[in-house]
Amino acid sequence: MEVSDQSSRPEHDFKCQGTLLQAIHRHVVTTLGNDVFPPRKETYYKGLAYAVRDRLMERWVMAQRDFYDQKAKRVYYLSMEYLPGRFLMNYITNLELEQEVEAAIKDMPFTLQALEEEEWDAGLGNGGLGRLASCFMDSMATLKIPGYGYGLRYDYGIFFQKIVNGYQVEKSDNWIRNGFPWEIKRTGFLYDVNFYGRSQAYIDSVGETRYRWVDTQQVHAMACDIMIPGYGTKHVNNMRLWESVSDEAFSLTHFNDGDYTGAMQAKVREESITKVLYPSDEKAEGRELRLKQQYFMVAATLHDIFRRFKKKHGQEFQKLPDQVAIQLNDTHPSIAVAEFMRRLLDEEMVGWDQAWEIAVKTFAYTNHTVLPEALETWPVELLGRLLPRHLEIIYEINHRFLEMLRQDFPHRPDLQNKLSIIKEGPTRLVRMAHLAIIGSHAVNGVAELHSRIIRESLFRDFNTIYPDRLTNVTNGITPRRWLRQANPELSQLISQAIGDAWIADLDQLKRLIPLADDAAFQQQWIAVKRIKKQQLSAYIQRKLKFSPNPDALFDVQVKRIHEYKRQLLTIMHGIALYRRLLINPQLDMVPRTIILAGKAAPAYHLAKNIIKLANAVAEQINNNPICQGKLSMAFLPNYCISQAEKVIPGADLSEQISTAGMEASGTGNMKFALNGALTIGTLDGANVEIMEEVGAENIFIFGLTSEEVEQWREGGLYNPRWYVERDEELRGVLQMISSDTFCPGQPGLFEPIRASLLERGDYYMVIADFRAYLDRQQEVAETYRNTGEWARRSILNTANMGKFSSDRAIREYARNIWDVEPLR
Ligand code: 26V
């Protein structure tokens, strides 16, 4: 939605009329073609959705007018992934419609919660990076920052995970099947996106050599808009997801030849660009379709940005950096740097130097990982075939950059090879991170430790040549979804105690600190946690047909399955406890339920083997009578945002145990602590800052530091067998994994895991941290016995989470990177 001429805007009356219930009934009949009686859950969900949407739309139009009138600088967040989760409750929370909705459905044969479950969770991302983008959308709207989220509308999101016989099985996630009431498809709003062809030089009217991209194949991008309302404000931002579509014109020649199926095939080929999300995180894939997706998103988005800019500022491109900030969410959209240059050079006829200055001032890039296998590169051959003009531009950027290095760092000839955008070798590669760094004025890591690692090791030489470019913005999470919505019971208790200003100002939680020692408040706190644990237990009952005892310690690790995140340590601890019970069935232990969930990339065989192990261990433990009332274990299938909202509030213990130096930030760690879980974790990512905030005495830290990990690896000092020889329990646990204890009749099933630890050097240092981890877990259990002490620490964790609001993170981006102000 765009307002064309604001000055002569007449008065309109488009305000929603009548009660919410009337609106629901009207939509059930007129939009959905159903009868209101007898009430059906699915139709009422949709009727409610449309009624809520109407109220939002009204605000949206007003917000867009506001944008236009204020000529504010806009932020464009470019991300290949978003994980918004369900929208209904988010809209109801942010519009503060709860009471009205409760009143409207009070006579219905279903609850609001039941209606909420009707919505399919939009999984348009893999994990942390996508969820961060969605938390940022919420905060930008809440802070009234004129921000747009741009991305792709995949027909199929992250796969649906089934667990069959203990193994992960991927099913397609046709999330759109029952319709998606929240999007507004701009069917008449299509942009052309070009691929292939060649670059052609020509002399323009003033005798300059210019280039154009010719003989291309075109596809079309259709805008699908989703409204993003702020909390406690009438401000509404927009998220625009592109869908690739075909039109008649494209296939006309085929049709004229009578080649119906040929035409249909062309249509299918074209539409396949946004068909499916790539389901691998932390591993770059060199597939042509993925690069197509990236360029498709970038080209359509820049088209939109330039159109909007030119409508107001015409050809005054020197003003662009004062009107536009573009944030690259990892390198996935970094081809935008070349596309931006192409637009200015080839289409707007701006000279190179001016275009480059504008580009660098406009772009900023966020790095989300230090894992080498996740750093994107594209074969020169592939990029040059798909985007020939862009490759030319990248070569020119690189040429000028290397020339600058020669001039400014004559004593560092080594920098040429190290920092070149092109990596030489048998297959020459384009290093997308180098393009993003060179093309941005700011590059940030996502936690203090991660940013330091970037400055000192990953991008060390870039830090030498651009000393002010590399910076930090520690991640955050939105308190609206992760406390207000996911945990209404705790929210209410907190609001009773300190008022509800914390929802938009999370530092207010500090006012809970004095209550941490208050025995009565502790009791109320414990009672709420118990309710959330009961609800979680009932959820586990529905999914796995057993219900853990809510009095047990709920020990939770939920996140993507990856070796560096070390789900294996959690499982090995479970095995160790099980083994202690086998040795001494009378053992007096703190009852514990270990809860795991997470998806493995479909081609990541070791991660899938870990899932199988978790399920196999869980099955044994849960079926062995000696574990009754002492130990149980659950692997919840299909971890996703809506599942996280159920699991996190019910956790006592949050597992954040990655090999130090490898988890860029983590955001689950923040969600758990905000909901009063205590953390057991390594000094990694944002755990370090969580420890600083809550105090070292209120968190269970263990294990090697990132410096130690690096030294040991570099010096080749680490030998896992050294530990195995000295630790009887560790030997016992490894023996149980490599024997057929957990895979009767299938010896060798977990051999890949054993081999990774003992034959292939245990790269993630699971063995090195095993004993420290178990000792810390023992201390966790002892602390848990003291209910009052546990409650005190739990309250202090929540109370000290203010820093980790995504509102704080967005304020930092706004001030230090984007130079934007909230709207008045
Ligand atoms: C890489 C690739 C490679 C190509 C295929 C698709 C794909 C998707 C994602 C990635 C990189 C993912 C990086 C990521 O999710 N990092 C996580 O970002 C979180 C937000 O900053 C952070 O909290 C986590 O620590 C970090 O692992």
281 lines ligand 1 (CB under 6 A): yes
CA distance 376 to 367: 11
Alpha carbon nearest to ligand 1 atom 14, residue: 129
pLDDT of 263 strictly over 80: no
Out of 81, 282, 332, 448, mutate this one to test ligand 1's pocket (max ligand atoms within 8 Å of CB): namely: 282
Average pLDDT of span 349-375: 96
Q: So what's the pLDDT on residue 633?
A: 98
CA 632 to chain centre: 30
What spacing in Å lies between the alpha carbon of 225 and ligand 1's midpoint?
24
Q: Residue type for 256, please?
A: N
What spacing in Å lies between the alpha carbon of 130 and ligand 1's midpoint?
8
**Cβ–Cβ < 8 Å for 647, 637:** no
285 lines ligand 1 (CB under 6 A): yes
The secondary element (H helix, E strand) that includes residue 487 is none
What spacing in Å lies between the alpha carbon of 657 and ligand 1's midpoint?
17
Which is the closest atom of ligand 1 to the Cα of 279? 6
CA distances to 332, 456, 473, 760 from 661, rounded to whole Å, are 22, 12, 17, 20
Q: Of how many residues is the chain composed?
A: 824
Alpha carbon nearest to ligand 1 atom 3, residue: 284
Q: For the segment 298-311, what is each residue's pLDDT rounded down to a tens digit?
A: 999 999 999 999 99
Average pLDDT of span 787-816: 98
Average pLDDT of span 565-574: 98
Q: So what's the pLDDT on residue 71?
A: 79
Alpha carbon nearest to ligand 1 atom 18, residue: 129
CA distance 778 to 589: 10
3-state helix, strand, coil in the chain (%, to 5): 50, 15, 30
Out of 136, 330, 478, 687, mutate this one to test ligand 1's pocket (max ligand atoms within 8 Å of CB): namely: 330
Alpha carbon nearest to ligand 1 atom 23, residue: 666
Identify the band that residue 3 occupies on the pLDDT scale cut at 50, 70 and 90: very low
7, two tokens: 């000055």
Q: So what's the pLDDT on residue 1?
A: 47
What spacing in Å lies between the alpha carbon of 132 and ligand 1's midpoint?
10
368 lines ligand 1 (CB under 6 A): yes
List the one residue out of 61, 225, 56, 217 whose CA is nearest residue 151: 225
Which is the closest atom of ligand 1 to the Cα of 376? 3
Q: So what's the pLDDT on residue 66?
A: 79
Average pLDDT of span 304-332: 97
Lowest pLDDT segment from 243-252, 323-332, 589-598, 673-682:
243-252
680 lines ligand 1 (CB under 6 A): no
pLDDT of 556 strictly over 90: yes
173 lines ligand 1 (CB under 6 A): no
617 lines ligand 1 (CB under 6 A): no
Identify the band that residue 269 occupies on the pLDDT scale cut at 50, 70 and 90: low
What spacing in Å lies between the alpha carbon of 386 and ligand 1's midpoint?
25
pLDDT of 715 strictly over 50: yes
664 lines ligand 1 (CB under 6 A): yes
Average pLDDT of span 618-645: 98
Which is the closest atom of ligand 1 to the Cα of 366? 21
What residues does 214 pair with on adjacent strands? 198
In eight-state DSSP terms, residue 696 is G
374 lines ligand 1 (CB under 6 A): yes
Sequence-separated (6 or more) residues with CB below 8 Å from residue 24: 44, 47, 48, 50, 51, 104
Sequence-separated (6 or more) residues with CB below 8 Å from residue 169: 161, 162, 163
294 lines ligand 1 (CB under 6 A): no
Right CATH for 486-704+765-810 from 1.20.1250.20, 3.90.1280.10, 3.40.50.2000, 1.10.3720.10: 3.40.50.2000
451 lines ligand 1 (CB under 6 A): no
pLDDT of 252 strictly over 70: no
φ/ψ (deg, to 5) at 201:
-90, 150
Q: For the segment 492-536, what is each residue's pLDDT rounded down to a tens digit?
A: 999 999 999 999 999 999 999 999 999 999 999 999 999 999 999
Q: So what's the pLDDT on residue 369?
A: 96
Average pLDDT of span 31-57: 92
Q: So what's the pLDDT on residue 259?
A: 76
Give DSSP secondary structure letters for 50-110: HHHHHHHHHHHHHHHHHHHHHT--EEEEE-S-EEEE-SHHHHHHHTT-HHHHHHHTTTSSS
597 lines ligand 1 (CB under 6 A): no
What spacing in Å lies between the alpha carbon of 134 and ligand 1's midpoint?
14
What spacing in Å lies between the alpha carbon of 667 and ligand 1's midpoint?
12
CA distance 617 to 737: 9
Half-sphere exposure of 458 (CA within 13 A, CB side): 26
Lowest pLDDT segment from 240-249, 326-335, 466-475, 600-609:
240-249
Out of 124, 369, 689, mutate this one to test ligand 1's pocket (max ligand atoms within 8 Å of CB): namely: 369
pLDDT of 248 strictly over 80: no
422, two tokens: 């092109």
Instruction: Please work out, in degrees rounded to the nearest 5, the angle formed at the alpha carbon of residue 133 by the alpha carbons of 128 and 137.
Output: 145
Give DSSP secondary structure letters for 599-612: ---TT-HHHHHHHH
Out of 158, 281, 375, mutate this one to test ligand 1's pocket (max ligand atoms within 8 Å of CB): namely: 281
CA distance 803 to 810: 12
Active site amino acids: 368, 559-560, 565, 667, 671
